[in-house]
Each structure stands twice: as C-alpha cells, then as structure tokens.
Amino acid sequence: MKKAVVIYNRNSGRKEAAKSLKDVRRFLSSCFEQLQITEINDITTVDFNKFDTVKIIGGEGTINKCLPVLDGKQTGIIPCGTANQLAARLGIFNEKSAITAIKNEKT
C-alpha cells in the first residue's frame, strides 16, 4: 500500500498553495492508497514513518521547514512559492510539471 503525506503552506506564493491544494489532492488521491494532508505548522504531529513519500506544496521556506523531518524519504515538490528557485533548478516550474514528475516517479 503506497502512502503519502502532503505538507502545504497555505500562505506560499501569495496563497497560491491553498488554491492549488484541491487539484493536487484530487491527483494525488488517484496515485496513493492513503493520503494525509497536513499544514506546515502541524508537521510535528505527523508520524513520517507511516508514509512512503512526502509531497511538499510551497516554496523554499516550506521546504526548509520540512527538511528536518524528511530523513531520506522520497520527496516531491509542488512549487507554489514566489520564487521557487530550488524547484526550477530541478526542472519543476509549475504545478503541471510537478504533477508530470510525480506521475513519472521522478521525485
């Protein structure tokens, strides 16, 4: 059973992450048998050992806050920050390219 946790920052990218969450949730629900959505401020309540992969919706600040809990987990980035330099360096420029990468298991 593939399980994923999605960490998102509703304020990323002038609140673009909150707008993207509905579409991203629909897509990821079709990819994983179990999906948990968690706001960035609640990551300390998540047992990351229960999940196969972590998906992060947000920008560099959100990713930085998630780094301590990733501990080698397969991770995907869905960029919704204002600059998204890390995602761009990885060839992920928007929600569509992030979803394509996840479909192709390039995380």
Q: What local confidence, expressed as pLDDT, does residue 96 receive?
A: 84
Instruction: Dig out the tokens for 63 from the structure.
Output: 């990713």
Average pLDDT, the chain: 87
CA dist 92 and 88 (Å) reads 5
Q: Is the pLDDT of residue 4 over 70?
A: yes
> With bands split at pLDDT 50, 70 and 90, how would you rate the model's confidence at 1?
low
The 10s digit of each residue's pLDDT in 32-63 is: 999 999 999 999 999 999 999 999 998 889 99
User: Which amino acid is residue 16, in one-letter code?
Assistant: E
Helix, strand, coil percentages in the chain from 3-state DSSP, rounded to 5: 50, 20, 25
